[in-house]
Amino acid sequence: MDRTPRADHYFTPQPESDSAEREITFPFGDRRFAFRTDAGVFSHRFVDRGTALLLSKLPLPLEGDVLDWGAGYGVIGIVTAAFSPEARVVLVEINERAAALARRNVEANRVTNAQVVVGDALKALGDQQFDAIVTNPPIHAGKPVVAGLIRDAQARLRLGGELWMVVRTRDGAKSYFATLQGVFSAVERVGMRGGYRVFCATR
């Protein structure tokens, strides 16, 4: 059973719930990461299974310019940056509370090759291009939002760049796979576990 709270709109700029900070840990590879989280941000009690599965399938280290789209409090971007020392990682997040936490978590985990950008990605990133984009997208923001993310990701990727995306099966993973196929030249399912699927789409 997925216990991720959904009462608050974690994908909006300013969550309404009262602050209730906590620290969680997340072991990955030979490291144990510590993250400050808070109410009103995605999966604030624990690192969700989709994020963990996506990270386990990434071909780390990544190289070049990497984007963590919808970074939340920073798990994907920080872990990716820590294991990809030659990469330049951007974490973009619309939720101001989550973005502030991500900045603190970047510093606390001593990651020097990552930066946090606050705001709607379509506006905040301008015309930046990337070699890889990784995302656990805001599915509950609605399919038009996620489909728009997919289209914009394709436009932001350099030729040969990859979009890595995790979707819960019951939240329409098969439908999103079809959406990816309509936008990208090559799409494959690279992982499936615990009710989640990881897709890699290549431009």
Whether 56 is covered by a domain: the verdict is yes
Whether 17 is covered by a domain: the verdict is no
* pLDDT tens, residue order, the chain (203 aa): 333 344 445 666 677 677 889 999 999 999 999 999 999 999 989 999 999 999 999 999 999 999 999 999 999 999 999 999 999 999 999 999 999 999 999 999 999 999 999 999 989 999 999 999 999 998 888 899 999 999 999 999 999 999 999 999 999 999 999 999 999 999 999 999 999 999 999 99
What range does the domain containing 80 cover? 48-202
Whether 130 is covered by a domain: the verdict is yes
Q: Which pair of tokens denotes residue 100?
A: 């502030």
Q: Which pair of tokens denotes residue 171?
A: 């939240």
Confidence (pLDDT) at 12? 65
Whether 93 is covered by a domain: the verdict is yes
Task: Specify the number of domains making up the chain.
Answer: 1
Q: Which residue has tokens 């009690």?
A: 45
Residue whose C-alpha is closest to residue 112's, from 91, 136, 135, 89: 89
Whether 99 is covered by a domain: the verdict is yes
Whether 138 is covered by a domain: the verdict is yes
Whether 8 is covered by a domain: the verdict is no
Task: Please report, to the nearest 10 degrees, the dihedral formed by the alpha carbons of residues 63, 134, 19, 105 taken in order.
Answer: -10
What 3-state class would DSSP assign to 180? helix
What are the Cα distances from residue 70, in Å, to 17, 76, 138, 196?
A: 19, 10, 7, 18
Looking up residue 141, the CATH number of its domain turns out to be 3.40.50.150
Whether 153 is covered by a domain: the verdict is yes
Task: Show the CA angle centred on residue 46, arms to residues 166 and 199, nearest 5°.
Answer: 5
